[in-house]
Structure 1
Amino acid sequence: MAGKVDIEGILKTLTLEEKISILAGRNMWETVPIPSKGVPSVKVSDGPNGARGADFTGGKSSACFPAACSVAAAFDEDIAHRIGQALAEETHSKGARCLLGPTTCMHRDPRGGRNFESFSEDPLLAGKLAASVIRGLQSRGVSGTIKHFAANEQETDRMTVRETIPERALREIYLRPFEIAIKESKPWAVMTAYNVVNGFHCDESKFLLEQVLRGEWGWDGLVMSDWGGTNSVDGSINAGLDLEMPGPARVRKIDAVVADVKAGKIQESTIDERARRVLQFIERLKAFEDDTIPEEQAIDKPEHRALIREAGGRGIVLLKNEKNLLPLPKDKLKGKKVALIGYAKEGQAHGGGSAAVNAHYKKSPWDALHEYYGDSVEFTYAKGAHTLRMLPGMKDNVVGLDGKPGWTLNFYPQGSSTPNEVKHQFPAASSSPIGSDASKKWTTMELIGDFTPTETGEHYYAASGLGPTQIFINDEKVWEQTSLISDPMGFLFMSVHEEEHRYSFKAGTTYRIRIRSEPPASVPGLEILDGRTGVRMGFQVASEHDEELTSEAVQRAKEADYAIVFTGHTPEWESEGQDQLSFNLPRNGSQDALIAAVAAANSNTVVVNATGVAVAMPWLDQIGGLLQTWYPGQECGNAIVDVLSGAVNPEGRLPCSFPKSIEDSPAWGNFPGEKVDGILNVTYEEGVFIGYRHYDRIARDRLNFPFGYGLSYTSFETSGLKAARKSDDSFAASVTVKNTGGAAGGSLVQLYAGRVDKSEDHPVKSLVAFKKVRLQPGESATVELAVTTRDLGFFDEKAKKWVVPAGKYELISANSAADVVETVQVTVEKELVYAP
């Protein structure tokens, strides 16, 4: 369809039933088309640090970009914009026109399972970077989908948790990044969160969707639900939710919506408005001009590789560097021995859940170090600690009923002992939920394999099933789960806790293993899994499971000139669907003990930590160097080596505070909440005092590292802070930065604001502007910053307005939230009031 699309004309041709049909998806990733009326389908793809395509696991490979926490640590809007542009190209390669990202919720607590795919604890930083990513995406014709609106700060019971948030905190902290991004980038889509906010599920909240989003902010795009996050028919439609996802419709079945229209619960004009938004969304994506959905492709672009490496390196934060232990250039390491310990051979590129992609590749530090230093350095390796959360999927030495490697997968109709469907070469006794009884063709699935161990011993196995599941070894039932798994979300994302058991195996003897599983009756809060089932069986021989690993690592460290310990979270430990089990590195303190032991053996110990969150660091005083790498994407190894070697001067800064103890964190005592009548309830009792706003009010010694902190291989001097009134609505500030060291590098100018007359009701200071500047040795530059007057004020819950009281305010230049450099005062002559 060429030329301008007549949306109103198309809408008038649609029957009520047809209009209702496009208010839910066709399948997991596509909208419903109506070919006879010229309405095409569009495809969306999971993000936000890659475009995965239709397959949740496997499938066509994709470029894996740095996670949002890593992008935030770069404090660089240009890099965020370029990542958005590249993500748009990746989205097109998967036949999609809409990327489900960026994630823009707050880091309320370090244990938040999805913090890594959000930007920061600071709303200004999160909003500015989200806006940059969205502008990049939409400049290349791909819709950004800012999510999850709103206040999805935890994963525990995320489908049903009831959050009570004071309106001031909601406005100043949790809605503020969305407000910034929506006003500055105008995303074409917004995704609602699962949780309940102040009495309403987000998809049913007229306050969030109609009053704030479309009313106060004047936004005109499409609102879609999170997958399975539509909670009612009339409630969600009347509140402003345009599109239920995924499809086919679970809640918005045509008959149910028609019945509500006839009963007067929904006006047909409201159906028209929801359908109009869907059609306008399709128009923005230019699908009326070209309605094809191309086949998915894996396109590994050199320019994407380069951008990922650059962005990953710029986000790495140098947290400690005693006696200038780092960098380690080639001439410094030539002829030396370096012990690489821990995750050195693994590319810790991304977290778990919907942010995970099947990366084109993952460059490990081990490979990158060898490529960079060549034969001039001797590298040794030791694993050092057990870190697996789940035993590996059982696949080695297993053959199916056809005698070929792998498992036989059978499906049985209800009450039948004869399978009606058989699949061969199922690779491992491990799967995410598969199969559906929607057609009533089968109700039980069974994995069968003949296992012949190569070692005799009391080996370990562990299992889980979405629904009732049994394991038989030689027809002996050795394990049973009688009902729905206790953590279906963890099961979905392959990170569920499984109790380990032991069984006596004899080498060379063949054992027939059968795993039978049935769908649970229902999956409360995850109705999209109703009628589905899946099983997992992990296995590890006793010699590997019980092996003592630390001694070898200590010996390698003693023999080496330098020891580099790679620690962190794998996607099993840090993932959508679950919050952190502990503030300490997993597993059971093994990584903490490893670092302490290695540091005691080698005074030149560097820790390279890959997490998306702050973690406890009981070993901090014992080590010489510390890098926080986050999840840098598929070029993770190269990005890390760039910084270790000094090829890239570290310029990352912390986008979240690193407390010493979880008990000192702002949400301690009310995260993740308490069960009341079986429903998790959480009150945001800390109000606006999250992150550095909290730590500014308590003793600074509660922090290992403050927000905005980061070291460099050079030095900078910041001076000459000036500020002047530009208009009633803004101030202009400037500061001079000089590189006083011997290497080129990047410095972050951080500008905070606070009242001169301090008050317990208001933060000591809040970030109001930031800018990265890169300078050669001896070079200086004047950095100009704009400060919005409204950011000096607060949201008055009684007046329902933003208020900036008359009086004196401080503008504060700082190296971090805990390191003030210079302060100037500005005056607001009269009280200013802003509509929300």
Structure 2
Amino acid sequence: MTKAPQVPQVPNDKAREDAVEAALGRLDLDAKARLLAGQDSWSLPELPEIGLRSLVMSDGPIGVRGTRWTADDPSVALPSPTALAATWDPELAHRAGVLLAQEARRKGVHVLLAPTVNLHRSPLGGRHFEAYSEDPYLTGRIGAGYVNGVQSGGVGTTVKHFVANDAETDRFTVDNLVSERALRELYLAPFEAIVENAHPWGIMTAYNTVNGTTMSEHRYLVNEVLRGEWGFDGYNVSDWTAARSTIGAINGGLDVAMPGPKTVYGAPLARAVRNGHVPEATLDGAVRNVLRLAARVGVLEGAEPAVARADLPAPVDGEALAREIAHRSFVLVRNQGALPLPAGHTVALVGAAARDARVLGGGSATVFPAHVVSPLDGLAAALPEGALTYSVGADPNTELAVADKGFVLRAVCRDAAGTVIGTGSAPSGQINWMGADLPDGVTHDRLHTVELTGTFTPRDTGPHTFGIKGLGAFTLTVDGTTYYDDVQATDSDDPFIAFFGDPQPRAEVQLTADTPVEVSLTYGVVLPDDAAMKSVGFSLCHQEPRRDPDELIAEAAEVARAADTAVVVVATTERVESEGFDRTDLRLPGRQDDLVRAVAAANPNTVVVVNSGSPVELPWRDEVAAVLLTWFPGQEGGAALADVLTGDREPGGRLPTTWGALTDAPVTRVTPTDGQLPYTEGVFIGYRAWEKEGRIPSYPFGHGLGYTDWTYETAEAEGSRADGVTVTVRVTNSGTRAGREVVQAYLAPTTPDPDRPARRLAAFAGIEAAPGETVEVALELPRRAFEIWDESANGWAFVKGSYEIQVGRSITDRRLTSPITV
């Protein structure tokens, strides 16, 4: 039996530990308890008596939002985590982390609440765009690169959500029943790999329960496994509002309860110590972890930060890196010679998502970039004048979206007497003021109403729908007429429903293109005294006139017929992929499937660009000339798309998760029964389950085409049980242009075992080669690839025997085999 090795120490840890101990010794009980409770939504309190400044946290993972949830404070928006994983490049993930640390320092943020390393257990998981992969090894490699990159910039990370937070349905209460073997081999594995290889400064525990114990109180998984076996020495923060018990949380290893100021820590924790329910030594351990974090990020006087200012990485061009990650992540899953576009071809661009780009997923991962390059913008800039035509086709937005294009709004705050006490800008129709994030001069105790007011200039004539997202009393007025004056309520117990809930249509108004009208949405502020955090959140929503879909599709088909190539952009929406709910199917919303079929019938040279963060069904995939998956491609997505379509760059991605029809997917259940969700599939998720069930996906794990061809020539394995195995692979670029290949190695027991996957990803590496060039790459298969978790012995067991190391381009496209006995 083996245990994971202890993590390496950060340089100068001894001096920092001395500073931490000295600071801890100068704190009284109340100060220590106060330090472990958020002072507001995003920060911990300062303690001047020990030279401790306030420590600031911010959501990620594709950008750094900062402490203000507003487009007034823009952030670089990178492609989604699924896109980053699709690059199969830990070094690129490291560079992404360096950029995010740079962004964090710019915004005064010390800790990034990222990355998300939960697994794609079921394709219905609504938040999968925010996680990396269905495979724990790939997830661990990408996550370690990301964490190392962020922390090289002197900013902490919190790897989340520990653990088994793999779906959104009933996420606050669900009890996920997971075998110890599945926990160790799948769900804990990425966290373990990141602790071992990246030494993260933080972990965030999940909302959910695992095997009967809520994760914010899970002594076994936090204290015994994470801290004991793995040697994690960072801080453990709750997911927001997840901590429910003072004694249970502190004894379960939770260091910080967020957000504040009302939490189960602070004064309740000090009382629990005084009453003898919690040993002060346990409290001291949590404070020590927080002070260690503060020392590492440079907010504790007398402690040298983990990264000195002189050692910070060189500045990164955020726009250039966002564009590079995007084209490196795009996965070309089908190409019948349509791509790259031949020079001189005329192009018909079709789809609402080509004009109004979906570049990121919904929920707490939302950031606000200074600009977004849509596919229409990107292709218009890249193609010669007159080569591009555009048609909207079918709109995926079947529901209202937050008011954006055409709206010029501001927020007016008034007290109970109707007196204006402050104003703030509102770049969109969304107000999310969390904690102290209020306009200048406004306080929670005086704030009575917030009015979003301004003008809307429609771009289309017809009936426009206006609506509201949020809970409480609202008054909606458009062009001088009040359409709604009532209380909007819900039966959901989700504390974030005002942010993530459904928008409700409340008015339909006939408007004329290019003619401005006044709009106003007034919200009656209610801030309960017992609220875990004081927040003001609501949105003015809007939907453009709905033309007959059949007419729009027919128009798009005619535009496509007249061009050499048709490019159709299809997409999911925020009501399909977001934090807060799971998916009910894998279909594209609206009439987009009909649109693709109509365009393909009109023009056989049709390329479909799929703009989604996770798998969708593609029932027309064999009817089109090419299919390109672009995920949520970040702010430069349209420019990167033009790079790839024109052949200026190669689509470099490989699938980090299996794509297939929902009816064929082996693991789909995300809804608990009587509060419990059994993970009955054990260690068989993703490609492991597809292979076990003998089902054929649309596109397999690891699949991806480039613009050149590759010949796999030899694979030779050597090594021993003690230090793992190395397989050396020779690959030749047998195509006509330079390219990048991801060489993948899968480990397969020679003798089938129904309790083990037929094969699993054990190593991979990216290579680059010019036409005709041969490259030799050594893939290191770690010892863990040959181990399974032995539940009877409660430890890792090395499984001796004969194996095949199968090398190729995907889980199903295996080109070479090298036998080995260990």
Q: Partners of 2:761 and 2:427 in 1: how far apart?
A: 51
1:311 alignment counterpart: 325
Give secondary structure in 2 for the equivalent of 1:608.
strand
In the alignment, is residue 259 of structure 1 matched against residue 271 of structure 2? yes
Q: Which amino acid aligns with 1:263?
A: N
1:573-722 correspondence to structure 2 within 5 Å: 573-587=576-590, 590-659=591-660, 661-668=661-668, 670-674=669-673, 676=674, 680-701=675-696, 703-722=697-716
Secondary structure in 1 matching 2:599:
helix
Kindly indicate whether the alpha-carbon contact (under 8 Å) linking 2:465 and 2:509 is maintained by their aligned counterparts in 1.
Answer: no
Please name the residue that 2:806 is paired with: 812
Q: Give the C-alpha shift of residue 550 in structure 1.
A: 1.5
How far did residue 345 of structure 1 move? 2.3
1:231-264 CA deviation, whole Å, 9 max, x = no partner? 211111111111122232422131x112211222
Unmatched tracts of structure 2, length 5 or more? 1-13, 306-313, 437-441
More moved, 32-41 vs 603-612: 32-41
What TM-score does the superposition give when structure 1 sets the normalisation length? 0.87
What residue number does 1:555 align with? 558
Distance 1:786 1:574 in 2: 36
**3-state DSSP class of the match of 1:43?**
strand
Aligned-partner SS, 2:472: coil
User: What letter matches 1:642 in structure 2?
Assistant: D
Deviations 1:150-183, CA, capped at 9 Å, x for gaps = 1111122222222111111111110001101110
Moved more, 456-465 or 44-53: 456-465
Which residue type is aligned with residue 116 of structure 1?
F
Match of 2:61 in 1: 48
For the structure 1 residues 337 and 453, does the alpha-carbon distance in structure 2 shift closer, same or farther, using more than 3 Å as the test?
Answer: closer
Letter in 2 for 1:431: I
Unpaired stretches in structure 1, ≥5 consecutive residues: 294-299, 399-404, 829-836
- Cα 1:396–1:642 shift into 2, 3 Å: closer
Distance in 2 between residues matched to 1:564 and 1:672, nearest whole Å: 37
Pairing of 1:72-151 with structure 2 (within 5 A): 72-151=85-164
Q: Verify: 1:275 aligned to 2:287, yes or no.
A: yes
Within a 5 Å distance, the mapping from 1:718-797 to structure 2 comes to: 718-797=712-791
> Retained in 2: the 8 A contact 1:453–1:505?
no
* Aligned equivalents of 1:67, 1:52: Cα separation in 2: 15
For the 8 Å contact 2:399–2:543, the answer to whether it is kept is: no
Aligned-pair Cα RMSD in Å: 3.4
| Shift in Å, 1:335 | 5.7
Give the match for residue 834 of structure 1. Answer: none
CA distance in 2, matches of 1:664, 1:490: 33
CA-CA distance at 1:519 after TM superposition: 3.4
Shift of 1:657: 0.1
CA–CA separation in structure 2 for the residues paired with 1:627 and 1:26: 46
1:74-96 Cα shifts (integer Å, max 9, x gaps): 11122111211222111111112
C-alpha distance after superposition, 1:361-398 (max 9, x if no partner): 222222222222232x5211111112225425569999
Report if aligned partners of 2:347, 2:567 keep a CA contact under 8 Å in 1: no
Aligned-partner residue type, residue 259 of structure 1: R
Whichever residue aligns with residue 800 of structure 1, its letter is N
For residue 823 of structure 1, what is the amino acid of its counterpart? T
Paired position in structure 2 for 1:831: none
Displacement of 1:574: 2.1
Offset of residue 572 of structure 1 = 4.8
- Counterpart pick for 2:192 among 176, 179, 182: 179
User: Matched residue of 2:632: which SS?
Assistant: coil
Closer, same or farther: CA 582–419 of 1 in aligned 2, 3 Å: farther
TM-score (structure 2 length as normaliser) = 0.89
User: Against the structure 1 CA distance between its residues 444 and 45, is the aligned structure 2 distance closer, same or farther, given a 3 Å change threshold?
Assistant: closer
Residues 754-806 of structure 1, C-alpha deviations (whole Å, 9 max, x = no match): 22111221111111101111111111122111112332231112211112233
- Aligned residue for 2:70? 57
Q: Letter of the aligned partner of 1:593 in structure 2?
A: D
More displaced stretch, 171-180 vs 155-164:
155-164
| Structure 1: distance between partners of 2:572 and 2:706 | 25
Helix, strand or coil: the match of 2:684? Answer: coil
Cα separation, partners in 2 of 1:822 and 1:743, compared to 1, 3 Å: same
For the 8 Å contact 2:464–2:511, the answer to whether it is kept is: no
Q: Which amino acid aligns with 1:538?
A: C
Q: How far 1:632 sits from its partner (Å)? A: 2.6
Q: Does 1:460 align with 2:465?
A: yes
| 1:236 is the counterpart of 2:252 | no
Structure 2 residue aligned with 1:297: none
Equivalent AA in structure 2 for residue 557 of structure 1: A
Residues 267 and 583 of structure 1: is their aligned pair in 2 closer, same or farther, counting only changes over 3 Å?
A: same
Please tell me whether the aligned partners of residues 409 and 452 of structure 2 are also in contact (alpha carbons under 8 angstroms).
no
**In the TM superposition, what are the counterparts of 1:336-485 in structure 2 within 5 Å?**
336-375=346-385, 378-393=387-402, 409=412, 411=414, 413=416, 421=421, 423=423, 430-432=430-432, 440-441=445-446, 460-467=465-472, 469=474, 478=484, 480-481=486-487, 483-484=489-490
Partners of 2:404 and 2:699 in 1: how far apart? Answer: 44
**1: CA distance, partners of 2:49 / 2:406:** 54
Distance 1:662 1:565 in 2: 23
Residue 253 to residue 618, structure 1, CA distance change in 2 (3 Å) = same
> Contact 1:409–1:426 (CA<8 Å) still a contact in 2?
no
Instruction: Determine the structure 1 residue equivalent to 2:503.
Output: 498
1:519 aligned onto 2:526: yes
Separation in 2, partners of 1:253, 1:489: 21
**Pairs within 5 Å for 1:8-19:** 8-19=21-32
Specify whether residues 439 and 99 from structure 1 end up closer, same or farther in structure 2 by C-alpha distance, changes over 3 A only: closer
User: Which stretch shifts more, 146-155 or 210-219?
Assistant: 146-155
User: Using a 3 Å threshold, how does the CA distance of structure 1 residues 537 and 67 change in structure 2: closer, same or farther?
Assistant: closer
Between the aligned partners of 2:703 and 2:392, the Cα distance in structure 1 is 30
The question of whether the paired residues in 2 share the 8 Å contact of 1:448 and 1:514 is answered with yes
The range that moved more, 744-753 or 134-143, is 134-143
Give percent identity, aligned residues only. Answer: 35
Q: Which stretch shows the higher mean deviation, 201-210 or 423-432?
A: 423-432
**1:773 and 1:397 mapped to 2: Cα distance?**
46
Q: CA deviation at 1:432?
A: 3.7
**CA gap 1:512/1:269 in 2 versus in 1, 3 angstroms:** closer
CA distance, structure 2, for counterparts of residue 271 and residue 812 of structure 1? 51
Equivalent-residue separation in structure 1 for 2:227 and 2:110 (angstroms): 23
Of residues 486, 495, 509, the one that matches 2:492 is 486
Contact 1:412 1:445 survives alignment (8 Å)? no
Deviation at 1:229, TM superposition (A): 2.0
The alpha-carbon deviation at position 505 of structure 1 amounts to 6.1
State the number of aligned residues: 793
In structure 1, give the amino acid aligned to 2:332: L
Shift of 1:656: 0.2
Question: Which residue identity is paired with 1:746?
Answer: R
Letter in 1 for 2:75: S
Distance 1:472 1:604 in 2: 48
- Aligned equivalents of 1:348, 1:191: Cα separation in 2: 28
Q: What is the CA distance between 1:504 and its match in structure 2?
A: 6.9
After superposing the two structures, state which structure 1 stretch, 210-219 or 648-657, moved more: 648-657
Give deviations 1:408-428, integer Å, cap 9, x for gaps.
746564xxx756757588677
Range with bigger deviation, 27-36 or 274-283: 27-36
Residues 391 and 301 from structure 1, CA distance in 2 versus in 1: closer, same or farther, beyond 3 angstroms?
Answer: farther
Deviations 1:442-501 (A, max 9, x none): 5665668899999997653433432355668989875755634637567444x5323545
Cα distance change of structure 1 residues 741 and 290 upon mapping to structure 2, 3 Å threshold: farther
Q: Sort the Cα spacing of 1:479 and 1:684 in 2 relative to 1 into closer, same or farther, 3 A.
A: farther
